A and B are shown apart, each in its own frame.
Chain A
Amino acid sequence: MTFFIAVGSLCAICGILAILLVIADRYLNDYGICKLIINRGAREEEVEGGDTLLGSLNSIGLFIPSACGGQGSCGLCKLKVSAGGPPLLPTEEPHLDATEIKENVRLCCQLKVHEDMELEIPEELFNIREYKGTVESLTDLNHDIKRLRIALPAGDEIDIIPGQYIQIETPKYKKTPEPIYRAYSIATDPLDKTHIDLCIRLVPDGLCTTYVFEHLKEGDAITLNGPYGDFVLSDTDKDILFIAGGSGMAPFLSMLAHIKNEKIPRNVTYFFGARAKRDLICLEQMAAFEAAMPNIKFVPCLSEPMPDDNWCGETGLVTDVMKHHCPDLAQMEAYLCGSPGMIDASIAALTANGMPEEAIAYDKF
């Protein structure tokens, strides 16, 4: 008897407390509908209060770059919040410098929408949205780089500027307990608005690349958002220098396709650095570009060709080869994509040979 009384009263007490908490939650977490006033009234949206600003913006179809998926660790989702933001949170402080704090720049994954807010979102982010694609093909470009071709659902289109990147979502799997986002440059011909191609190089122990290499199959669903980035061709008529290594090939595939589509007459010299012949990728596509456009020249450079490569092309580091081909860099523009080491070395070599720093654009990864 005592047993039943004990269990019964304990359950009753717990039940009553739970009900009280639910009621309190309904009342305390109800911020009602809050208005987001974007870019001084250029756009006004109403959202349910209580979520983070990043989540609320996602829900109305505005995607702010965030590599960490809203954990407050990457510091990419900075926005200017001029009114309605709560005081600066300790989780935001490490990512903001003094001038940003003064200008009310906030990490929108941290602050929650509790009242009407005024914020500023750069225009180019309006074009960004989420796409639910399917993996059309996953092919080996060489021993450690794969080409991932994603088909967008029927009727859906994406407008990219060659050189931009998108983020793909890695769903939770045994290596990561929550979805993560990683950025990859788009390698697609900008005229093909229904596909996204990415060059993905296997990073040992990388969360996203391991997923792509070991778990992703043709026909799988994949979520992406974008396009982001301002690594794009300028509209001058200067001669162009492309420098890339490894999966840094991707943005130039898109840029070269654009140059070919639009018959842009600028001279393009593309130096692609690799260690040996087995690291080179997309050679046929490059030959096709060269055949179609006499102003495009592809120069692969091997730093350590193997004996059985029978290599008769350029040998040495890209930075050295470049000096032979382009003695006068003052009137050219350079676009670099590759590892930080390669980019820093290239920038040093370019500026040493007379290229002004503002003529150099790069995408480090």
Chain B
Amino acid sequence: MILAAIQPVVQSEPNVLAQLLVIFLAAAFTENILLARFLGMCSFLAISRQMKTSIGLGFAVVFVTTFTAAINWLLHTYVMVPLGIVFLEYIIFIVVIAAFVQLVEMIIERFSPSLYFSLGIFLPLITVNCAILGVSLFMLNKQSFGLPESLIFGFGSGIGWLIAIVLMAGIREQIKEDKIPPGLRGAGITLIITGIIALAFVAFSGMIK
């Protein structure tokens, strides 16, 4: 009896979880916002010079994408669609993102002043990081997304950006002492490496049907 009652729950649970896992993996790897769509390149190029700041900015992006995706989904579903003002999505999304970045800035300044100073101008610039607006907009393309899916999608996309910048910071710290032709130093070699990492990430595309 008891077993029979539990059965459907147990059956549906893995499905939901598996679906969320697929969304997460797709957002983080196959559709990596930075490596597959090349969004958010500006701060990626500028900050990936150091591992410590990369991790800091990466987690700030994760935080912002996760919550802005969720808030924007709520606003879209419960405010914009019923009121018929979906055409305002760009403005409203940007406003939400800007407010959230302000919040993140306050939190970082409070808890890690040295990270705050190392991130410098790039922290407020997360506001105009197109990766973050991109996450909110791509999320709307997936018609079937509910709140949990949006949250996971935002989180996954942020993690994808974090993985990309941390990978790049690791590589850039390794090649710091290397002899790179003068014309390729800085942004040049970084873009080439980004391209190679992006190619490697194509391999993930077989992972998810």
By a beta-carbon cutoff of 8 Å, the part of chain A in contact with chain B is: 2, 5-6, 9-10, 13-14, 17-18, 20-21, 24-25, 28-29, 86-91, 111-112, 114
Size bin of chain B's contact surface: 20 to 34
By a beta-carbon cutoff of 8 Å, the part of chain B in contact with chain A is: 75, 79-80, 83-85, 87-88, 91-92, 95-96, 99, 102-103, 106-107, 109-110, 113-114, 117-118
Residues B96 and A24 in contact, CB atoms below 8 Å apart: no
Which residue from chain B places its CB closest to the CB of A14 in the assembled complex? B95
Q: Chain A nearest CB: distance from B59 CB in Å? A: 17
Q: Chain B nearest CB: distance from A278 CB in Å? A: 50
Which residue from chain B places its CB closest to the CB of A3 in the assembled complex? B85
Given A29-B110, A87-B114: A13 in contact with B92 (beta carbons within 8 A): yes
Instruction: Kindly list chain A residues whose C-beta atoms are within 8 Å of the C-beta of B91.
Output: 10
Residues A21 and B113 in contact, CB atoms below 8 Å apart: no
Task: Please give me the 6 A-B residue pairs with the lowest Cβ-Cβ distance, nearest first.
Answer: A17-B99, A28-B106, A86-B113, A6-B85, A87-B114, A89-B117
Residues B106 and A29 in contact, CB atoms below 8 Å apart: yes
Residues A5 and B85 in contact, CB atoms below 8 Å apart: yes
Pairs across A and B, CB under 8 Å, 18 listed = A5-B84, A6-B87, A9-B88, A10-B91, A13-B92, A13-B95, A13-B96, A17-B96, A20-B99, A25-B106, A28-B107, A28-B109, A86-B113, A86-B114, A87-B113, A88-B114, A90-B118, A114-B113
A189 to B27, CA, bound (A): 76
SS class, residues of chain B in contact with chain A:
helix
Instruction: Kindly list chain B residues whose C-beta atoms are within 8 Å of the C-beta of A88.
Output: 114
A255 to B76, CA, bound (A): 76
Residues A24 and B113 in contact, CB atoms below 8 Å apart: no
Instruction: Kindly list chain B residues whose C-beta atoms are within 8 Å of the C-beta of A18.
Output: 99
Q: Chain B nearest CB: distance from A104 CB in Å? A: 15
Instruction: Kindly list chain A residues whose C-beta atoms are within 8 Å of the C-beta of B85.
Output: 2, 5-6, 9-10
Instruction: Kindly list chain B residues whose C-beta atoms are within 8 Å of the C-beta of A21.
Output: 99, 102-103
Residues A10 and B92 in contact, CB atoms below 8 Å apart: yes
Please tell me which one of the listed residues A5, A17, A89, A111 contacts residue B83 in the complex, with CB atoms under 8 A apart: A5
Instruction: Kindly list chain A residues whose C-beta atoms are within 8 Å of the C-beta of B87.
Output: 6
Given A21-B99, A28-B106, A29-B106: A9 in contact with B79 (beta carbons within 8 A): yes
A13 to B80, CA, bound (A): 11
SS class, residues of chain A in contact with chain B:
helix
Instruction: Kindly list chain A residues whose C-beta atoms are within 8 Å of the C-beta of B117.
Output: 89-91
Apart from A20-B99, A28-B109, A89-B113: 10 A-B pairs, beta carbons within 8 A: A5-B84, A10-B88, A13-B75, A14-B95, A18-B99, A21-B99, A21-B102, A28-B110, A90-B114, A90-B117
Residues B83 and A9 in contact, CB atoms below 8 Å apart: yes
Instruction: Kindly list chain A residues whose C-beta atoms are within 8 Å of the C-beta of B80.
Output: 9
A25 to B110, CA, bound (A): 10
A264 to B81, CA, bound (A): 90
Instruction: Kindly list chain A residues whose C-beta atoms are within 8 Å of the C-beta of B75.
Output: 13
Q: Chain A nearest CB: distance from B101 CB in Å? A: 10
Q: Chain B nearest CB: distance from A157 CB in Å? A: 40
Instruction: Kindly list chain A residues whose C-beta atoms are within 8 Å of the C-beta of B84.
Output: 2, 5
Q: Chain A nearest CB: distance from B180 CB in Å? A: 25
Q: Chain B nearest CB: distance from A72 CB in Å? A: 10
A91 to B119, CA, bound (A): 12
Instruction: Kindly list chain A residues whose C-beta atoms are within 8 Å of the C-beta of B106.
Output: 24-25, 28-29
A14 to B91, CA, bound (A): 10
A28 to B113, CA, bound (A): 13
Residues B114 and A112 in contact, CB atoms below 8 Å apart: no
A18 to B98, CA, bound (A): 11
Residues B103 and A6 in contact, CB atoms below 8 Å apart: no
Instruction: Kindly list chain A residues whose C-beta atoms are within 8 Å of the C-beta of B110.
Output: 28-29, 114
Instruction: Kindly list chain B residues whose C-beta atoms are within 8 Å of the C-beta of A29.
Output: 106, 110
A328 to B209, CA, bound (A): 96
Tell me which of A2, A13, A88, A90 has the highest count of chain B C-beta atoms within 10 A of its own C-beta: A13
Instruction: Kindly list chain A residues whose C-beta atoms are within 8 Å of the C-beta of B83.
Output: 5-6, 9
Q: Chain B nearest CB: distance from A117 CB in Å? A: 14
Instruction: Kindly list chain B residues whose C-beta atoms are within 8 Å of the C-beta of A24.
Output: 103, 106
Given A13-B75, A17-B95, A28-B106: A6 in contact with B88 (beta carbons within 8 A): yes
Instruction: Kindly list chain B residues whose C-beta atoms are within 8 Å of the C-beta of A13.
Output: 75, 79, 92, 95-96
A25 to B103, CA, bound (A): 8
Which residue from chain A places its CB closest to the CB of B107 in the assembled complex? A28
Q: Chain A nearest CB: distance from B21 CB in Å? A: 32
A111 to B103, CA, bound (A): 21
A24 to B95, CA, bound (A): 17
Q: Chain A nearest CB: distance from B133 CB in Å? A: 16
Q: Chain B nearest CB: distance from A34 CB in Å? A: 14
